[in-house]
A = this chain, B = another copy of it.
Amino acid sequence: MTKQYTETKYFNLPEGETFTLESGARLKELKIAYETYGDLNDEKTNAVLVCHALSGDAHAAGYAEGENKPGWWDTMIGPGKAFDTEKYFVICSNVIGGCKGSVGPRSINPDTEKPYGLSFPIVTIRDMVRAQKKLVDCFGIEKLLSVSGGSMGGMQVLQWAVEYPENVVSCIPIASAYKHTAQQIAFDEVGRQAIMSDPDWRSGDYYGGDPPSRGLAVARMVGHITYMSNASMNKKFGRMLKKEKLGYEFTSEFEVEGYLRYRGDNFVRRFDANSYLYLTKAMDYFDLQRDKKLAQVFKDVKSRFLVVAFSSDWLYPSEQSKDIVKALKMNGKDVTYCEISSAYGHDAFLLESEEQAKLIKHFLNRSFKKTGSK
């Protein structure tokens, strides 16, 4: 198969238009980095929006110029794949607050001509989705055939269904939740504290100097433990040593220690610590239910649903997906639930491509047929 090359493009609000966030703060510029794969049909009925997770970006599939690693969901997006680019027009955009091309704390504040840092306003999942809607509108797409994504991406999917019931034919929230629990907030808070404890963080004003790499690496290590399952960690590392025997010293002696350090060090080269704060905060704020009953929240939803969870995911346990399914069923909505048996933990949404691909392929196919398109 030939390598599919992709290019990141940028969307901007028309000159003079501002974007008001849930907090009431306003952004003067709403730059959104995005990629598209496949072609939009004439009726504009084949568009699928893919939403990324915490550390993801707009580059979901194919190869960027000069890179050897494809996009983060390349196993799922491409010709003949689950999101078949010979049939569908796939859009993926970097969330606002992120650091991969969309406006975020690293961007230049037009008022000061310096990076925002912590003066960037807090963004919510709803803000991310409302920004995506602007992007989707610019294509002239009235109804998205589907909105799909795992983890934080799944939260965006749920928000789309509730916020824009008329504009979404089908939804695929994967390994996600309709609100963060105390434990989920707690893990995020530890990551934030690790970053904010790093003296290099300097209250977020580190651009131009050394970034808080040590803090961000620790945050990423905590994250990685929660993304894997106990079983997958035991299988991958167990108590294996990097050297022949224990050295009775404070180096990374066990394979799992080396792996965590590697993951941490790797991450700081490609991610902005402030964005880590903003995006985890957005997830912690996420609560579709608030003071309502969850069933009530989904009352006016019009899309079909495929809800996917993974058996060994303990960060977003399947119970959270089942709660979504129940609340949709209470409203008589068209919802299919599938718990995929996997040892990969939360990471499964990026790794268990075979079964996930089949499920999504069929679901999209039926959704597409229901629109009456060919």
Contact = CB atoms under 8 A, between A and B. Distances in A.
Report the contact-size class of chain A (Cβ under 8 Å from the partner). 35 or more
B182 A256 contact: yes
Interface string A157-199: 0000000000000000000000111110111011011101111
Contacts of A222: 190, 222
A207 interface: no
Interface in A182-228: 182-183, 185-187, 189-190, 192-194, 196-199, 214-215, 217-218, 221-222, 224-225, 228
A32 interface: no
A124 to B, nearest CB: 9
A142 interface: no
Interface string A10-26: 00000000000011010
A281 B250 CA distance: 8
A237 interface: yes
Interface in A288-307: none
A218 B197 contact: yes
B182 A238 contact: yes
B261 A192 contact: no
Tell me the number of copies of this protein: 2
Q: Mostly helix, strand, loop or mixed at chain A's interface?
A: helix
B192 A264 contact: no
Contacts of A230: 181-183, 317
Given A182-B239, A193-B261, 19 more contacts: A118-B250, A121-B248, A122-B248, A181-B239, A182-B236, A183-B233, A185-B254, A189-B252, A189-B254, A189-B256, A189-B257, A193-B221, A193-B260, A194-B194, A194-B197, A197-B198, A197-B218, A222-B222, A230-B317
